Amino acid sequence: MTVVEEDRDDENYGLLQENLARLREMKIGQRKIQVVTLPMPRKIVRENLRLPASYANFYISNSSVLVPTFDDPNDATALSILQTLFPDRRVMGIDCRELLWGLGTFHCLTQQQPAV
């Protein structure tokens, strides 16, 4: 899975298209991998900082998938794609515009715990 930016004027467009092309050439053994794309939400900027809004920062639990949403037209598209990929789980969109201040959402929040 990867995200793609549709807006050619967006600063991430070229890099994400390059990433997509590389993924489409990857193989495991003799078989090319299946690449599923998610759209990008509109750019979110606060205090001159572009925040890392991405539907790819979802979290998979035993019975559900928590998906960051951003009050964006692409929210519904991303949720639909993920529901197709996880038919046995409840896919739930949760507004994460405020969480972006921490520079990540669900997947980032569930990663490494500090050593005690």
Which two tokens mark 62?
A: 């035993």
Question: What pTM does this model have?
Answer: 0.84
Where are the domains positioned within the chain?
A: 2-109
Identify the burial level of 112 via C-beta atoms within 10 angstroms of its C-beta, where 0-12 means exposed, 13-18 middle and 19 or more buried. exposed
Which two tokens mark 30?
A: 């003799």
| pLDDT tens string 57-99 | 898 989 999 999 999 999 999 999 999 999 999 999 999 888 7
| pLDDT tens string 1-38 | 999 999 999 999 999 999 999 999 999 999 999 999 99
Confirm if 86 and 36 have CB atoms less than 8 A apart. no
Identify the burial level of 35 via C-beta atoms within 10 angstroms of its C-beta, where 0-12 means exposed, 13-18 middle and 19 or more buried. middle
d(CA 101, CA 95): 13
Which two tokens mark 108?
A: 């980032």
Residues with active-site annotation: 108
